[in-house]
Amino acid sequence: MSARADDAAVIVVGGGHAGVEAALAAARLGVPTVLLTGDPQRVCTLACNPSIGGSAKGQLVREIDALGGAMARMTDRVSLHARFLNESKGPSVRALRVLADKPGYVRVAAETIAAQPGLTVVTGMGEDLVVEGGAVRAVVLAGGTTLRAPNVVLATGTFLGGKTFRGDEVRAEGRFGEPPAVGLSAALARLGLPLGRLKTGTPPRVDRTSLDLRATIVQPPSPAPLTFSYASPRAFAGEQLPCWIVETNERTHALVRENLHRSPLYGLDLIRGIGPRYCPSIEDKVVKFAHNPTHQVFVEPEGWDEPTFYIGGFSTSLPADVQLAMLRTLPGFSDVVMLRAGYAVEYDFVPPTELDASLETRRIAGLFHCGQLNGTSGYEEAAAQGLVAGINAARRAQGRDALRLSRASSYIGVMIDDLVTRGVDEPYRMLTSRAEHRVMLRHDNADLRLTPIGREIGLVDNAAWAAFEDRRDALDAGVRHAERTRVGSARIGRTVLQAGSTIADALRRPDIGAADVRTLLPAAIDDEVATRIEIEIKMEGYVRRGQAAVDRAARDEAVAVPADLDFDAVTALSREGREKLGRVRPRTLGAAARIPGITPTDVALLGVHLHRRTLAAASSA
């Protein structure tokens, strides 16, 4: 074991999307960090879809970047198909989606880790935890080696008690061909942490040369270079490839129905874990949405030089022979060669209501959980939690207060608050509908919301901060210029502007965009800032109203609930209210109000109790 591994202040267990962000963040904050992972050759494996971003997830990637995390920059270096989703809809739901070269992403992640001072990679599986006096002290590896550190971040993904399923084939695996983590589940249970079971699945991969793509609908990438990171050069790193869409048909669905008795989800009844509602298997789609005659299937390259196409929307755990027969029913797939059959994976998770919003467990000091272990699904959700857990493990090591992001600040704040106050009963994925302040939490303005926070905590370096200040100043100046500069009576496109109209008046019209007034804006402004000026002006009214809601919510967030409050002693509360509040232990009155089953009356009574307590404390002081 290297000496540096013995000196760690933070150990991160698991080199997936959550663990890598956590380890990079902790090390960048100046804390000696160990990343313990089963196979360092497979860090940040994209186990399922090659896609990063998309609706709501794209906002998460931008927020990770704005705070100083790695996912956006790593993705931009291997982007092979980038496209903005929801371009015809409002700016609050617009988001970038990128398909990454899968082996390239793993390579870039490994390079990023190797280049990070203060970060040591240890190969091995964490099997047990040493806890003394209610605080974590060490991780015990398979083979008996002990790694000591007062802060441990668990980011074990789908590996805890992992089992994979394909027909009646059941294997102990965390992912295809990789052994599960077995001891750690028992260790967590022994330490009093409850465990649940969830499930996810992946579709078959096919030989890219075996399809007749003329029978499909082509989905081209964006012709204009699109990148996630504010710091990435505005250029594509490599060739952009198309994707294709086909549809299932009655023959596909008949095969699913005829073979349900061979499905581990249905007839064989082998899978107990609950699967993701927003990413159902093809079996689930055919059974639960029987009225739909077709379902869309996405054919996506997995890399520039990969022999495979990923068959999105076709996740299945039916036996391999049935999968092949089903594929052959798709248009252009009559000669398809299946290179790897789909499968389902079932794994243990720890209910995230066990966590504080810092992602530290409430039972064991210094133990943090992030990623799929918390019941979420998706690379972006995992990476975002990893970043917060890594920051907070490092801050704890440095004796600093934890970073807790509010719901008004970010999708990351919404996700963590949902997890710790509401918990999960199915794999949690980020959706724009989960964010009540989504008009403020846009893809375009993640830097305005979070880069000052990233700077304050020490993750945004001088160069990134200077670039941010230039962007923010150019945006402010551009908006002021647009508000003040009159264009007179003019025709822009089909719109005739009244005499005395300003550029901002023009931009408030739904049919006029930044490109239409580009020549009227300061020449020094680049296209991205010009688009942001348009969005700021178009959204101004919504944002003003949104801010009023944020201010209202902030009042309840400002009322702290003491960590030692005995809810049972607040007898005015309903019995259910006392029980739920005691279990979740919200940190603020606002968080109490969001716990499912807590009534407005409970919230009002709790507010009165807290107010009286404050008055009593003041008078006795």
* For ligand FAD, the closer CB: 377 or 451: 377
Q: Which stretch binds ligand FAD (CB under 6 A): 101-109, 200-208, 332-340, 387-395?
A: 200-208
Give the 3-state secondary structure of residue 486. strand
Q: How far apart are the first and last CA of the chain?
A: 54
Phi-psi domain of 140 (left: phi exceeds 0; alpha: psi -120 through 50; beta: other): beta
Environment class of residue 588 by beta-carbon count within 10 Å: exposed (0-12), middle (13-18) or buried (19+)? buried
* For ligand FAD, the closer CB: 378 or 590: 378
Distance CA(459)–CA(443), nearest Å, equals 20
Q: Is 200 in the site for ligand FAD (CB under 6 A)?
A: yes
Distance CA(124)–CA(142), nearest Å, equals 7
Q: Is 273 in the site for ligand FAD (CB under 6 A)?
A: no
- Single residue of 28, 175, 369, 404 touching ligand FAD by CB under 6 A: 175
Q: Is 18 in the site for ligand FAD (CB under 6 A)?
A: yes
Beta strand pairing status for 205-207 and 217-219? unpaired
Q: Is 487 in the site for ligand FAD (CB under 6 A)?
A: no
- Single residue of 9, 10, 17, 173 touching ligand FAD by CB under 6 A: 17
Distance CA(56)–CA(410), nearest Å, equals 11
Per the CB < 8 A criterion, the answer to whether 457 and 404 are in contact is no
- Single residue of 5, 9, 10, 13 touching ligand FAD by CB under 6 A: 13
Q: Which DSSP category does 230 fall into?
A: T
- Single residue of 8, 9, 12, 14 touching ligand FAD by CB under 6 A: 14
Q: Is 91 in the site for ligand FAD (CB under 6 A)?
A: no
Residues 6+ apart with CB under 8 A from 480: none
Distance of CA 588 to the CA centre of its chain: 24
Q: At 73, which helix (H) or strand (E)?
A: helix 71-76
Least distance (Å) between residue 376 CB and ligand FAD = 7
Distance CA(34)–CA(9), nearest Å, equals 8
Least distance (Å) between residue 205 CB and ligand FAD = 12
* For ligand FAD, the closer CB: 169 or 528: 169
Least distance (Å) between residue 7 CB and ligand FAD = 19
How many residues at the interface with ligand FAD, by CB under 6 A?
37
Give the 3-state secondary structure of residue 15. coil
Distance CA(46)–CA(52), nearest Å, equals 9
Per the CB < 8 A criterion, the answer to whether 300 and 203 are in contact is no
Q: Is 275 in the site for ligand FAD (CB under 6 A)?
A: no
- Single residue of 10, 12, 16, 24 touching ligand FAD by CB under 6 A: 16
Least distance (Å) between residue 262 CB and ligand FAD = 19
Q: Is 221 in the site for ligand FAD (CB under 6 A)?
A: no
Per the CB < 8 A criterion, the answer to whether 562 and 589 are in contact is no
Give the 3-state secondary structure of residue 14. coil
Q: Which stretch binds ligand FAD (CB under 6 A): 61-69, 213-221, 374-382, 450-458?
A: 374-382
Q: Is 375 in the site for ligand FAD (CB under 6 A)?
A: no
* For ligand FAD, the closer CB: 327 or 503: 327
Rounded to 5 degrees, what angle do the CA atoms 251, 257, 262 make? 120
Give the 3-state secondary structure of residue 85. strand
Distance of CA 154 to the CA centre of its chain: 16
Q: Which stretch binds ligand FAD (CB under 6 A): 14-22, 249-257, 481-489, 585-593?
A: 14-22
Q: Which stretch binds ligand FAD (CB under 6 A): 16-24, 103-111, 580-588, 592-600?
A: 16-24
x/- map, 390-409, ligand FAD, by CB under 6 A: --------------------
Beta bridge partners of residue 197, listed in sequence order: 348
- Single residue of 36, 424, 570, 593 touching ligand FAD by CB under 6 A: 36
Least distance (Å) between residue 79 CB and ligand FAD = 18
Q: Is 61 in the site for ligand FAD (CB under 6 A)?
A: no
Q: Is 411 in the site for ligand FAD (CB under 6 A)?
A: no
Distance CA(588)–CA(556), nearest Å, equals 7
Which residue, 20, 206, 48, is CA-closest to 111? Answer: 20
x/- map, 141-170, ligand FAD, by CB under 6 A: --------------xxxxx-----------
Site residues, ligand FAD (CB under 6 A): 13-19, 36-39, 42, 47-48, 125-126, 155-159, 174-175, 181, 184, 200-202, 279, 315, 345, 371-372, 377-379, 382
